[in-house]
Chains A and B, each alone.
Chain A
Amino acid sequence: MAIKLKELFKKNNEIENNNQKNNIYKTEDIPSVPDGLYTACEKCHEMILTEDLYSGNMVCPKCGHYFKLGAYQRISMIVDNGTFEEWDKGLIENNPCEYDGYLKKIEKLKENTGIDEAIVTGVAKIDDKETVIGICDTRFLMGSMGHVVGEKLTRAVERATSMRLPVIIFTCSGGARMQEGMVSLMQMAKTSAALKRHSDAGLLYITVLTDPTTGGVTASFAMLGDIILAEPKALVGFAGPRVIKQTIGKELPEGFQRSEFLLEHGFIDNIVKREELRDTLAKLLRLHTSAKRDSMRKYKEYLDDIYHKKIDEDKEERDIEKQRKSSKDTAWDRVEIARSSDRPTALDYIYSLTKDFYELHGDRLYSDDGSIVGGIAMFGGQPVTVIGHQKGTTTKENIKRNFGMSNPEGYRKSLRLIKQAEKFRRPIIFFVDTPGAYPGIGAEERGQGRAIANNLFELSTVKTPLLSIITGEGGSGGALALALTDEVWMMENSVYSVLSPEGFASILWKDNTRAHEAAEKMKMTAADLKELGIIERIIPEFPVLNADTMNHVMMYMKRKIADFMIQYQSKSVEELIDNRYNRFRKF
């Protein structure tokens, strides 16, 4: 809707009269604003140049408000030009509750909006990757889910399952369609069940939550994505804010039920700006494409080639061993190096060793724990899941990361990503660096012990190769929760122990100043643990990991990880799980 600039300066509301008056004087010569040149922002009410609004993805350039998008408008923003093929247009509408004027209203909406129902479904390509896509449209009875919406969605998911294609749904809906009564409620069940079959077939489902997503849609297909993204500030919730307010009789906090609130509470993977959505979806689709046969072997050959041409690996290992033996560092020296804030963090390793990392957030239960990071990345042309303890490099970041000490929700996030990796047959690389699980009241209230135990329980039978690398401090159960894996490696200057040397000295000798002595006794260095058979490999740091040696160390790690992948991916699932069982059975 264009607003006449002149009207802004009128003190009355007689807009129609003013329009007439304007028309009388409107000639070519008199300055005036052509119709449609400007659009008023729904939120800040500032005038936006209409062409700016359209070229700017329908986001207000003044206040950043996201205008709602029609389904076809959204499709044109997301998919490759001309690749969208619409499915199931013109399904017959019923009026199960014989609600007065319902069908007439539907007919009228079809005419006014140019869409067929509150969802448009079909198949399209995003950056040349084929996917099934569904887009809700709030212009059609608030995007509510009646039987046609449920049917279109279910059919699209079923077809995606049989065509072995991913599904991407953009949600925005008031929930169930009241006019259709219980038939509407059944759509929640129907769509969810179809999505379970799609998931069981090992296929990817991504949801993008847009403003507003509420009620029965939130409680069914919106929250079932393997990956859940949301546009900024979108309202997402089950009960509407008005209902909650009326029920509890209190004002709701600022930002309640918005995307940012959901991210903080662990329910979504990320908030993505509208202008970045297409690229993000394309990247996620690429990260879910299976690797070409032999890609890991080729990657290893490539690495060997740029590393040294032909490498005598035995000699290399002997040299490293010799160098290590000549080192005069004590166990306590290693503890101090391992704890140094200069050490690379999990994200440093992830960005150095892999490509295209996409971080995923949240445990889907309570929160997003900053002390554990995880996501999907490419290693040697193959998608892998990476998970690690993350310490901060500044005080501020350390508070966000809780100094690398995880709460139960951190372990639950890791478990969610472990299960996801298993579903998509992705190997997992863990990076362990934690003083230990967080000793706190909340952590106990939410079941710290149970969370760690559950990781051990589940990791033991994950059907994909698992590799864990202790990069700094391997602190007890909190570390083991990410280290029940096929192989465990340690950085040369990392430590791995049942408790801190200070704790050891304090419990056994009642004197925590004897920590350096304890460190020797505890056999917590990489060399000690290799001898004990607790770990398989020591990663040399030549001799300490820093900016100068980083490249060399990372290249070594890439080669060894590629070897690991080649070796373990050739094993059958049974063999893999048996091996892992026996690895820990022997202790």
Chain B
Amino acid sequence: MINKLLIANRGEIAVRIIRACREMGIKTVAVYSQADADSLHTQLADESICIGKAAATDSYLNMERILSATIASGADAIHPGFGFLSENSKFVGLCEKCNITFVGPSSDIIAKMGNKSEARNTMKKAGIPIIEGTDEPLFEAHLAKKFADDIGYPVMIKAALGGGGKGMRVVYNAEDFIANFNSAQQETIKGFGDNSMYIEKYIEHPRHVEFQILADNYGNVIHLGERDCSVQRRHQKMIEESPSDAIDEKLRKKMGETAIKAAKAVGYTNAGTVEFLLDKNNNFYFIEINTRIQVEHGVTELVTGLDLIKEQIKIASGEKLNYTQSDIKLRGHAMEVRINAENPERNFAPCPGTIKTLHIPGGNGVRIDTAVYTGYSIPPYYDSMILKVMAYDTDREQVINKLKSVLGEIIIEGIDTNLDFQYDILNNKNFAGGKITTDFIKDNYGY
């Protein structure tokens, strides 16, 4: 069993991990940057070690300093949280070399899943549906067309070096392909001085549905149902919920089994998330496996009753899973709203500063994960997420009502936040009606 655990992270996730450790009787070591001397995780942990300057490369991303702190403090394990070094296979490899237990999968698995094309190939071999696409760049229109004809329309033409929509085209039928390919390629040559193009199957108005999995070191893998994270602004998730109203029990079973198959295909261990895109005809496609705890793990905890951080630590300590798939029942509905220190009116520019007043409501079925407090200064160097507001109730409608009530009560003064924007979404008829795809924010708000 782990005796002392170092948390290589900051903010609410560090606090979340410290709390789980306390409940388990594990001593905690926080690491912090000079900008985080007053932060909550620094104060809550049993020991705290300053590991460098404010810039993440000098602190939370500095592998050597974190390893030094681990060994110097006598900790025997590291929990990486999410972001920072959590999916860095090199860092995990170093932990392995130094006999430090890393709470997460092995460096090999992280490396394999981090390499997109290798991950795709592994999944394809295992019979997991993937979005068909070219592995090698294409240069000539007629060869590209042959490929597009094979995978079926619509297809997306992308520039290898593309960005900001340049060199990108969606083609709905074979007749339009050549003209679109040529114009996309011309744009790419002009914009990037390169003519390598990729083709992939285009999924229209998909939903983002991901499955939480747990796998121990003995080959046991279960899934904890799905999370629907379709409400996204430029690939940043804003609202997540479980279960998804887009899938029924039969599809859940099928997707869940596929997620388990994907995890087994790579010999996955610890907690992970298998992400899928779901199209309007209920076809689903593997995107990637996130080899870490997710921001939105709380909604799964609310509907399953499990504590995912504790499960992660138990698995890392070598314990067997205490549950089989039939033990896992999703009860009720849970939803999470992310509150960020940012200004939606200024193109969501981050808004660091000092919180003058903070009022956080409680109540039945309300969970708020945060590391901020009245008088806390949000440093400008890191992620702008400050609150995760979660609610749990019998069904989706009740949850939305509860969240509206909670958001209406929250007071944050001194900084700008996206609170009102999120409140708006909860009041949006399309959102309430469950008509959400990953284009929801763009279609309804234009962002």
Look across to chain A and name the residue whose beta carbon is closest to the beta carbon of B4: A31
- Contact A37–B98 (Cβ < 8 Å): yes
Instruction: Give min CB distance, A352 to chain B, whole Å.
Output: 15
A33 contacts across to B, CB distance below 8 A = 67, 71, 97-98
- Contact B97–A34 (Cβ < 8 Å): yes
- Contact A32–B71 (Cβ < 8 Å): yes
Q: Kindly state the separation between the CA atoms of A47 and B63 in the bound complex, as whole angstroms.
A: 10
Does A46 belong to the interface (CB within 8 Å)? yes
A32 contacts across to B, CB distance below 8 A = 71, 98-99
Most buried by B among A9, A31, A32, A33: A31
Q: Kindly state the separation between the CA atoms of A9 and B51 in the bound complex, as whole angstroms.
A: 12
Instruction: Give min CB distance, A256 to chain B, whole Å.
Output: 30
Q: Kindly state the separation between the CA atoms of A46 and B62 in the bound complex, as whole angstroms.
A: 11
Instruction: Give min CB distance, B89 to chain A, whole Å.
Output: 13
A313 contacts across to B, CB distance below 8 A = none
Which single member of A6, A34, A37, A49 contacts B72 (CB below 8 Å)?
A6
Instruction: Give min CB distance, A10 to chain B, whole Å.
Output: 9
- How many residue pairs, one in A and one in B, have C-beta atoms under 8 Å apart? 40
Interface residues of A in 19-57 (CB under 8 A from B): 28-34, 37-38, 46-47, 49
- Contact A49–B67 (Cβ < 8 Å): no
Does B75 belong to the interface (CB within 8 Å)? yes
- Contact B64–A46 (Cβ < 8 Å): yes
Does B401 belong to the interface (CB within 8 Å)? no
- Contact A29–B99 (Cβ < 8 Å): yes
A9 contacts across to B, CB distance below 8 A = 68, 72
Which single member of A8, A28, A30 contacts B68 (CB below 8 Å)?
A8
Chain B residue total in the interface (Cβ 8 A): 14
A244 contacts across to B, CB distance below 8 A = none
Q: Kindly state the separation between the CA atoms of A9 and B100 in the bound complex, as whole angstroms.
A: 18
A30 contacts across to B, CB distance below 8 A = 76, 99
A38 contacts across to B, CB distance below 8 A = 64
- Contact A31–B76 (Cβ < 8 Å): yes
- Contact B72–A8 (Cβ < 8 Å): yes
Instruction: Give min CB distance, A486 to chain B, whole Å.
Output: 37
| A5-B67, A5-B71 given; A34·B98 CB < 8 A | yes
Q: Kindly state the separation between the CA atoms of A37 and B63 in the bound complex, as whole angstroms.
A: 13
Does B70 belong to the interface (CB within 8 Å)? yes
| A31-B75, A31-B76 given; A5·B97 CB < 8 A | no
A8 contacts across to B, CB distance below 8 A = 68, 72
Interface size class of A (residues with CB under 8 A): 10 to 19
Q: Kindly state the separation between the CA atoms of A33 and B72 in the bound complex, as whole angstroms.
A: 11
Which single member of B63, B64, B71 contacts A31 (CB below 8 Å)?
B71
- Contact B64–A6 (Cβ < 8 Å): no
B98 contacts across to A, CB distance below 8 A = 31-34, 37
- Contact A5–B68 (Cβ < 8 Å): yes
Q: Kindly state the separation between the CA atoms of A28 and B63 in the bound complex, as whole angstroms.
A: 22
Interface residues of B in 23-69 (CB under 8 A from A): 63-64, 67-68
- Contact B97–A37 (Cβ < 8 Å): yes
B100 contacts across to A, CB distance below 8 A = 31
Look across to chain A and name the residue whose beta carbon is closest to the beta carbon of B99: A31
Interface residues of B in 307-354 (CB under 8 A from A): none
- Contact A31–B70 (Cβ < 8 Å): yes
Does B372 belong to the interface (CB within 8 Å)? no
B70 contacts across to A, CB distance below 8 A = 31
Q: Is the interface of B mostly helix, strand, loop or mixed?
A: helix
A5 contacts across to B, CB distance below 8 A = 64, 67-68, 71-72
Does B94 belong to the interface (CB within 8 Å)? yes
Q: Kindly state the separation between the CA atoms of A371 and B293 in the bound complex, as whole angstroms.
A: 58
- Contact A28–B72 (Cβ < 8 Å): no
Look across to chain A and name the residue whose beta carbon is closest to the beta carbon of B68: A5
Q: Kindly state the separation between the CA atoms of A8 and B66 in the bound complex, as whole angstroms.
A: 13
Most buried by B among A33, A37, A38: A33
Q: Kindly state the separation between the CA atoms of A8 and B64 in the bound complex, as whole angstroms.
A: 11
Q: Kindly state the separation between the CA atoms of A49 and B68 in the bound complex, as whole angstroms.
A: 13
Q: Kindly state the separation between the CA atoms of A433 and B123 in the bound complex, as whole angstroms.
A: 61
Look across to chain A and name the residue whose beta carbon is closest to the beta carbon of B77: A31
- Contact B64–A47 (Cβ < 8 Å): yes
B71 contacts across to A, CB distance below 8 A = 5-6, 31-33
Q: Kindly state the separation between the CA atoms of A29 and B76 in the bound complex, as whole angstroms.
A: 9
Instruction: Give min CB distance, A551 to chain B, whole Å.
Output: 14
Interface residues of B in 79-125 (CB under 8 A from A): 94, 97-100
Q: Kindly state the separation between the CA atoms of A421 and B140 in the bound complex, as whole angstroms.
A: 42
A49 contacts across to B, CB distance below 8 A = 63, 94
Interface residues of B in 244-267 (CB under 8 A from A): none
B76 contacts across to A, CB distance below 8 A = 29-31
Look across to chain B and name the residue whose beta carbon is closest to the beta carbon of A34: B97
Q: Kindly state the separation between the CA atoms of A519 and B58 in the bound complex, as whole angstroms.
A: 63
Which single member of B67, B75, B94, B99 contacts A28 (CB below 8 Å)?
B99
Q: Kindly state the separation between the CA atoms of A32 and B72 in the bound complex, as whole angstroms.
A: 9
Instruction: Give min CB distance, A126 to chain B, whole Å.
Output: 29
Q: Kindly state the separation between the CA atoms of A181 and B76 in the bound complex, as whole angstroms.
A: 60
B67 contacts across to A, CB distance below 8 A = 5, 33
A31 contacts across to B, CB distance below 8 A = 70-71, 75-76, 98-100
Proximity bits, B200-211, A CB within 8 Å = 1, else 0: 000000000000
B75 contacts across to A, CB distance below 8 A = 31
B99 contacts across to A, CB distance below 8 A = 28-32
Most buried by A among B63, B64, B70, B100: B64
Q: Kindly state the separation between the CA atoms of A31 and B228 in the bound complex, as whole angstroms.
A: 40
B64 contacts across to A, CB distance below 8 A = 5, 38, 46-47
Q: Kindly state the separation between the CA atoms of A456 and B98 in the bound complex, as whole angstroms.
A: 70
Instruction: Give min CB distance, A21 to chain B, whole Å.
Output: 13
Instruction: Give min CB distance, A544 to chain B, whole Å.
Output: 22
Proximity bits, A276-306, B CB within 8 Å = 1, else 0: 0000000000000000000000000000000
B68 contacts across to A, CB distance below 8 A = 5, 8-9
Instruction: Give min CB distance, B436 to chain A, whole Å.
Output: 44
B97 contacts across to A, CB distance below 8 A = 33-34, 37
Instruction: Give min CB distance, A165 to chain B, whole Å.
Output: 38
Interface of A with B (CB < 8 Å)?
5-6, 8-9, 28-34, 37-38, 46-47, 49
List, sorted by A's number, 21 A–B pairs whose CB atoms are closer than 8 Å: A5-B64, A5-B67, A5-B72, A8-B68, A9-B68, A9-B72, A31-B70, A31-B71, A31-B98, A31-B100, A32-B71, A32-B98, A33-B71, A33-B97, A33-B98, A34-B97, A37-B98, A38-B64, A46-B64, A47-B64, A49-B63
Having A29-B76, A31-B98, A37-B94, one finds 12 other A-B pairs with CB under 8 Å, namely A6-B71, A6-B72, A8-B68, A30-B76, A31-B70, A31-B75, A31-B99, A32-B98, A32-B99, A33-B71, A37-B97, A37-B98
Interface of B with A (CB < 8 Å)?
63-64, 67-68, 70-72, 75-76, 94, 97-100
The 8 closest A-B pairs by CB, nearest first: A9-B72, A5-B68, A47-B64, A31-B100, A31-B99, A5-B71, A33-B98, A31-B71
